[in-house]
Amino acid sequence: MEGNIFMTDIRTESTSVTSRALLFDGVDTKPYVKELSVRAPGAGEVLVKMTATGVCHSDLHVINGDWPYPYRLMLGHEGAGIVESVGADVSDLAPGDQVVLSWFAPCMNCPSCHEGKSWLCQGSGAFVDGLPDGTTPLAADDGKEVRPYLGVGAFSEYTLVPRPAAVKIPNAVPPEVAALIGCSIATGVGAVGNTADVRAGQTAVVVGCGGVGQALIMGLKLVGARQIIAVDLSDDRLDIARGFGATDVLKGDDPDLAKKIKDLSGGGTDFAFDAIGLTSTSAALTGYLKQGGAAVYVGMPPRDAEATIRPWEIIVTGQRILGCNYGSTRPAVDFPKIAELYLAGLLPLDEMVGERIGLDAAAEAIEDLKSSIGRRKIVVY
Ligand SMILES: NC(=O)c1ccc[n+]([C@@H]2O[C@H](COP(=O)([O-])OP(=O)(O)OC[C@H]3O[C@@H](n4cnc5c(N)ncnc54)[C@H](O)[C@@H]3O)[C@@H](O)[C@H]2O)c1
Ligand SMILES: [Zn+2]
Ligand SMILES: [Zn+2]
């Protein structure tokens, strides 16, 4: 059908679909599954039939109330699916294509996007948990507003996103892996390759070895880091970290943690990544570094959290503190690149995939992140 002048009509659906989705009404309530309606894609939009959604700690931050929201959310942001239909002017995606969803869809029209730094976009629909024009494509029969978390809302059988949020990757990538590329993997691998620009032979410590920490370790191994010190409170997570390439493991509650890191690394590491976002872990990060090293904040704190640093020490040691939003990735460029690295056997992404669960078990799985045991749970549809 390529080139057929009727192709646009054939590919465009005009009716909405019903979808079971995980909704959240706000702090002190529990997420619940409810059927809602997702409208048909208009110009510049894509309707996606979800295949897999990872359970990420950012969903836990939401239900914990770390980042309060004034409206009802359709939860989930680490997802992938198959294009169901596209808006009339979308010519570079077709039904049947596998897409990874980007939870920070760039507007492509702000100064950061013009500079090619779409991870710093100032006009993303992610800021309003909706489409770039501020509206929501979702409707529930109770009449109450419901908005897709970060403009994605991936815990749902269907979702509707703007074109830049749907990134095509080869259908040969399994859905579970595709879903993880949408958050933890892009963030961890991107933090190493883009934000920090780690080079072969350098050293790093990774604090927090959940999904994001595991992706950091994989990224560090990929670029040839010679020492990767993994830190976690959970022995299970430290075992997993070793499997991904950690050369040394340490307990996060060890009172001599900084000294042990300095001893193991001969005076401090080139990089220290925080992948849990506690005030205490963020503040401690520069204490693990050598002269000129860089601390990379990846784990997210509550919005109003404050941590103390010692500016004098930063100055005299020439250290740097780097903020990492979404692995400083440009989804359209980096997601397919990550998929190709996986298909070439250079990133063992299958090993991040844990238990596959149904949508009805998603709320419990988000809570269960607190146990810090096992690999990433993934909702499959
Ligand atoms: N910057 C970004 O763009 C971005 C993207 C995705 C996720 N995140 C954030 O990254 C963080 C991690 O997400 P995740 O899904 O990997 O979480 P996770 O729940 O899978 O893993 C967190 C890990 O941190 C460990 N931990 C807890 N307290 C610790 C301590 N004091 N010392 C050492 N380890 C400790 C836990 O045992 C667990 O293994 C979250 O804050 C999440 O919101 C940030
Ligand atoms: Zn996430
Ligand atoms: Zn932008």
The ranges assigned to domains in the chain are 7-168+348-380, 188-325
How far is the C-alpha of 172 from the C-alpha of 107, rounded, in Å? Answer: 29
Query: What's the CATH architecture for 188-325?
Result: 3-Layer(aba) Sandwich (3.40)
109 in Cβ contact with 123 (< 8 Å): yes
217 lines ligand 1 (CB under 6 A): no
Q: How many CB atoms lie within 10 A of CB 122?
A: 12
How far is the C-alpha of 20 from the C-alpha of 17, rounded, in Å? Answer: 10
pLDDT in tens, the chain (381 residues): 333 434 444 434 468 999 999 999 998 999 999 999 999 999 999 999 999 999 999 999 999 999 999 999 999 999 999 999 999 999 999 999 999 999 999 999 999 999 999 999 999 999 999 999 999 999 999 999 999 999 999 999 999 999 999 999 999 999 999 999 999 999 999 999 999 999 999 999 999 999 999 999 999 999 999 999 999 999 999 999 999 999 999 999 999 999 999 999 999 999 999 999 999 999 999 999 999 999 999 999 999 999 888 999 999 999 999 999 999 999 999 999 999 999 999 999 999 999 999 999 999 999 999 999 999 999 999
**Distance, CA 124 to ligand 3 centroid (Å)?**
6
379 lines ligand 1 (CB under 6 A): no
Which atom of ligand 1 lies nearest, measured to the CA of 325? 3
231 lines ligand 1 (CB under 6 A): yes
Most ligand 1 atoms within 8 A of CB, residue of 102, 212, 240 to mutate: 212
Atom 40, ligand 1: which residue's CA is nearest?
299
**Distance, CA 151 to ligand 3 centroid (Å)?**
14
- Residue 273's beta-bridge partner residues? 206, 296
Atom 13, ligand 1: which residue's CA is nearest?
57
298 lines ligand 1 (CB under 6 A): yes
129 lines ligand 1 (CB under 6 A): no
Consecutive H or E run containing 178: helix 175-180
Atom 26, ligand 1: which residue's CA is nearest?
208
- Residue 49's beta-bridge partner residues? 82, 158
What confidence score (pLDDT) does residue 15 get?
Answer: 84
267 in Cβ contact with 289 (< 8 Å): no
How far is the C-alpha of 325 from the C-alpha of 297, rounded, in Å? Answer: 9
Atom 25, ligand 1: which residue's CA is nearest?
208
284 lines ligand 1 (CB under 6 A): no
Most ligand 1 atoms within 8 A of CB, residue of 57, 282, 326, 373 to mutate: 57
Buried b (16+ CB within 10 A) or exposed e, 365-374: bbbbbeebee
The residue among 253, 319, 328, 333 whose CA lies nearest residue 288 is: 319
282 in Cβ contact with 307 (< 8 Å): yes
Helices marked H in 194-270:
211-223, 235-244, 257-265
DSSP type of residue 68: -
Backbone angles phi, psi at 208, to 5 degrees: 100, 115
Atom 3, ligand 1: which residue's CA is nearest?
326
CATH superfamily of this structure's domain 7-168+348-380? Medium-chain alcohol dehydrogenases, catalytic domain (3.90.180.10)
**Distance, CA 295 to ligand 2 centroid (Å)?**
20
**Distance, CA 57 to ligand 1 centroid (Å)?**
6
